[in-house]
Chains A and B, each alone.
Chain A
């Protein structure tokens, strides 16, 4: 049977892309970010050894548009090309999917009363591609297959924090009922504190981010009680993306978790957080 073995929470700041592609690993202003990912990448590669990553992210008007905004969607193909976000794409191979597992999750979760939009053609943007190469090797090809889960965190009304957690629980049940022996890691992306518009552009809150990093492991119930307004007022309008970490946490909710890694760095306009959790 398939098993969820680990969860990762990670920011998906677009500037990770050019910094990674430009190999700025030793640049003093980037080193605190990249150094934080090294032990997580090695732990995933050597200890966790997942076959599949369920990656929870949001599209930023790159492939989805405002014509139709699914609250939750799932990709169900064997390959996902990169979206052009207005300035071309990055030198990375296309993301490998797992259509069989995706369709299984779609069916199980929809019968569990979470009505996902099912996508057979979907391009992925920095929401997925900013953290993915920091977590998994991609040379010559990706070390994991990916099941993409897309959440609307752009156009209000957004799903509640608790709804995201419950979706994660349903994904956890779906994975556990898949007959093939697969090891699955769930990656929740986005945040942490940031605001990218208005006179409040650049707002950060390390206090909020540190509290979130603590509670996501120890007491996600407290995060589930937060309203969008509370999150946005404390940590910036765009920080509300953090609710996607609760999908990851919900998928691990069946048992105890152990925090393995933690990194935090806020050099510019976004709190860049990273946490890893092992399923007991």
Chain B
């Protein structure tokens, strides 16, 4: 992790559950523009515009440089842990960039997709 780009936003809450970043006011405040961008991808035209030119699309929203960089790196853990992304919103960014939820989850766990699937009871149910 590049601490300079990726370091935690100041003041994010810790609810005391390991590996868990509860989406409360501290995250919703810093993630507002980020989640707004992700929400906009529920419109097919916006999805096309985003896929065509991510930089131009991101420039429409008031994202921080660190948030933009985490999107560029498809760093789902950083987006939810440090940048106020809510998983149900960020999921739409995953869909627009070719990552399904289980791919995103494997990355957040620090595993490959295949390693993650091996931890599941019936991996065909996906």
Contacts and interface: CB of A to CB of B under 8 A. Distances in A.
A51 B122 CA distance: 37
A130 B39 CA distance: 20
Contact of B80 (A85, A86, A157, A198): A198
A210 interface: no
- Considering residues A33, A66, A83, which has the most beta carbons from chain B within 10 angstroms of its beta carbon? A66
Contacts of A207: none
Contact of A199 (B18, B86, B122): B18
A20 to B, nearest CB: 12
Given A86-B41, A87-B95, A198 B21 contact: yes
Nearest to A200: B19
A100 interface: no
Q: Is the interface of B mostly helix, strand, loop or mixed?
A: helix
Contacts of A39: none
Contacts of A87: 95
B51 interface: no
Interface string A178-218: 00000000000000000111111110000000000000000
A86 B42 contact: yes
Nearest to B35: A66
Interface of A: 14-15, 19, 27-30, 32-33, 60-63, 65-67, 83-88, 154-157, 195-202, 229, 232-233, 237-238, 266-269
10 contacts: A33-B125, A61-B42, A61-B92, A155-B86, A157-B24, A198-B20, A200-B20, A229-B15, A232-B15, A268-B123
Interface of B: 15-25, 28, 32, 35-36, 38-39, 41-44, 47, 77, 80-81, 86-89, 91-92, 95-96, 101-102, 104-106, 108-110, 116, 119-126
Given A29-B125, A85-B92, 12 more contacts: A28-B124, A61-B35, A61-B38, A66-B28, A86-B41, A156-B24, A197-B20, A198-B21, A201-B19, A232-B22, A266-B121, A268-B102
